[in-house]
Amino acid sequence: MPIDILMPALSPTMEEGTLAKWLVKEGDTIEPGDVIAEIETDKATMEVEAVDEGTLAKIVVDEGTENVPVNNVIAVILQEGEEGADLDAVESPPTAPKPQEEGKPAKEAADAGPAPSGTASPPALSSRSNGTRVFASPLARRIATQNNLSIDALEGSGPRGRIIKRDVDAALAAGVGTKPAQAKQAPAPTPSAPLPAGLPDARAFFEDGSFEEVPHDQMRKTIAKRLTAAKQGMPHFRLNISCEIDKLLAVRRELNAKSPEGDGAFKISVNDFIIKALAMALMRVPAANASWTDESMLRHKHADIGVAVAIEGGLITPIVRMADTKGLSTISGEMVDLAGRARERKLKPNEFEGGSFAVSNLGMYGIDHFDAVINPPHAGILAIGAGAQQPVVKDGALSIATVMNVTMSCDHRVIDGALGAELLGVFKGYVEDPSTMLL
């Protein structure tokens, strides 16, 4: 029987993705391990390998289609000897019927809420006047709906006559098949009334033509979703501390001067010292090296440190695994590799998901201090400001020192004030006397 190729879950949190590109075409013979498509998630573009052999008989989801739910059918393989007579009926797997809850009428049970995350939704179907079904990509349907366009009035140019985005664009340009737009009654102005729940649409405040509308990509949507959830559902509090880094800068110069040429060369940054100092502090204060769950606290055996890296359109947080066990040159080499592949969106999910704590360093941009938002499942994040020379008092005498401001955002469910203060104190000790990190 035909074998469905499903939209894969490329990470534990992935719910949908963009089918960026097909690397095979209908009629091609494929074998297990062949790379058949590229999928864009919120953070990376990843290759999809075939797990079955046969002939790619039907492409169900066109390349460029966005928001394809995990486990939706994206293509169909026929095995040797099979024919494709019934393939035109393939769209997406239907949602399993929701079981009726005891004591609730069928309609009430059906309205109780959406299907669980990851369950495929049934495709929106329509038919022509002669009763034949209309097949269209989700993106084409969405654009048609937004523009009051009758999808069943179009002829498709995609595989098997499927209506795709270019068909909708062509129809809109020609002005055919549109439904009459329903007039919306403007509400009466109530200047003294409070704002409704939720934020207003920013477009309401600007005239048409005064702005360029740039649609959100998957990364920006995910950043907005996760950090909004973090701020709403995670009780943040913040602690500030100042660290003198003159000794650290001197040790850094000394170590970099000893870097070998060619293979094995390194250039240690201030950020590498910060990663190492935080990792060692978390091992000294293990109660802070934890993640919250509703049932228990997860105490981590090693310090996996996420490091915020700015990339085009957003940011990503690659993880330095077991940073407490690694030397500064190893951390430096890993960060160069991770940051480079992050900017190319070539990281694997296990390289940017998870971790116990994070670092965000804006010192290179001249920022003195700032507050950072915690990215779950981390229990905290260090916001690192620029090191700058400042007057300080030592033993009653005025002197000059290079001072770096650090702000730690904590998840209060995991880290209380005293515990956070202890962690920052240990971190400060390592930063101000970096030779202790080398012991």
Shared domain check, 314 and 229: yes
199 pLDDT tier (thresholds 50, 70, 90):
low
147 pLDDT tier (thresholds 50, 70, 90):
confident
CA-based R_g, the chain, Å = 28
Shared domain check, 308 and 385: yes
Average pLDDT, the chain: 81
Strand ranges (DSSP E) for 34-170? 35-40, 45-49, 54-59, 65-69, 73-78, 126-127, 133-134
Q: In the chain, pLDDT over 90 holds for what percent of residues?
A: 42
The highest-confidence range among 149-153, 180-184, 351-355, by mean pLDDT, is 351-355
Q: Is the pLDDT assigned to residue 193 strictly greater than 60?
A: no
Q: Is the pLDDT assigned to residue 41 strictly greater than 60?
A: yes
Single-letter residue type at 149 = L
More confident: 214 or 304:
304
Residue 417 lies in a domain: yes
pLDDT of residue 109: 36
225-267 pLDDT, tens digit each: 888 888 888 999 999 999 999 999 999 999 999 999 888 899 9
CATH number assigned to the domain comprising residue 420: 3.30.559.10
Last residue of a domain, one of 89, 105, 140: 89
Shared domain check, 8 and 56: yes
Q: Rounded to an integer, what distance in angstroms lies between the CA atom of residue 162 and that of residue 75?
A: 13
pLDDT of residue 261: 87
Q: Is the pLDDT assigned to residue 403 strictly greater than 90?
A: yes
Last residue of a domain, one of 89, 115, 143: 89
Q: Is the pLDDT assigned to residue 391 strictly greater than 70?
A: yes
In the numeric block, which tokens belong to residue 81?
């000897």
More confident: 257 or 157:
257
Q: What is the DSSP string of 274-296?
A: HHHHHHHHHHHSGGGSEEE-SS-
421 pLDDT tier (thresholds 50, 70, 90):
very high
Least Cα distance to 266 among 275, 256, 278 occurs for 256
216 is catalytic: no
Q: Is the pLDDT assigned to residue 178 strictly greater than 80?
A: no
Q: At what angle do helices 246-257 and 270-284 cross, to 10 degrees?
A: 110
Q: Is the pLDDT assigned to residue 198 strictly greater than 70?
A: no
Q: Is the pLDDT assigned to residue 106 strictly greater than 70?
A: no
Residue 117 lies in a domain: no
Q: Is the pLDDT assigned to residue 223 strictly greater than 80?
A: yes
Shared domain check, 422 and 303: yes
Segment among 39-43, 158-162, 272-276, 375-379 with least mean pLDDT = 158-162
89 pLDDT tier (thresholds 50, 70, 90):
very low
CB-neighbour burial class of residue 168 (10 A; exposed 0-12, middle 13-18, buried 19+): buried
Residue 102 lies in a domain: no
Single-letter residue type at 268 = I
Question: Would you give the distance in Å from CA 78 to the centre of its chain?
Answer: 34
Average pLDDT score over residue span 146-170: 77
Shared domain check, 392 and 298: yes
Alpha-carbon torsion (230, 313, 363, 437), positive or negative: positive
Q: Rounded to an integer, what distance in angstroms lies between the CA atom of residue 352 and that of residue 325?
A: 19
Shared domain check, 168 and 236: no
Average pLDDT score over residue span 24-34: 87
pLDDT of residue 181: 47
pLDDT of residue 282: 97
Residue 193 lies in a domain: no
CA distances to 136, 195, 319, 375 from 127, rounded to whole Å, are 11, 42, 50, 45
The highest-confidence range among 85-94, 118-127, 165-174, 427-436, by mean pLDDT, is 427-436
Residue 210 lies in a domain: no
Range of the domain at 423: 221-438
Segment among 55-69, 74-88, 106-120, 170-184 with least mean pLDDT = 106-120
Segment among 216-220, 296-300, 366-370 with least mean pLDDT = 216-220
Alpha-carbon torsion (10, 15, 20, 26), positive or negative: positive
Average pLDDT score over residue span 358-370: 95
Q: Is the pLDDT assigned to residue 303 strictly greater than 60?
A: yes
Shared domain check, 384 and 315: yes
Shared domain check, 36 and 133: no
pLDDT of residue 253: 95
Average pLDDT score over residue span 166-171: 83
Q: Is the pLDDT assigned to residue 130 strictly greater than 80?
A: no
Least Cα distance to 233 among 355, 417, 375, 115 occurs for 375
pLDDT of residue 83: 65
CATH number assigned to the domain comprising residue 30: 2.40.50.100
pLDDT of residue 176: 66
The owner of tokens 């499942």 is: 377
Residue 22 lies in a domain: yes
Give the β-pairing of 305-307 and 357-361. parallel
The owner of tokens 């055996």 is: 301
Q: Using DSSP, how many helices (H) and how many strands (E) does the chain show?
A: 8, 20
pLDDT of residue 158: 67
More confident: 183 or 15:
15
Q: Rounded to an integer, what distance in angstroms lies between the CA atom of residue 282 and that of residue 436?
A: 15
Q: Is the pLDDT assigned to residue 3 strictly greater than 90?
A: no
Measure the CA angle with vertex 255, ends 250 and 260; round to 5°.
Answer: 150
pLDDT of residue 128: 53
- Structurally, the chain folds into a number of domains equal to 3
Residue 200 lies in a domain: no
Neighbours of 78 (CB within 10 A): 17
Least Cα distance to 322 among 290, 296, 346, 355 occurs for 355
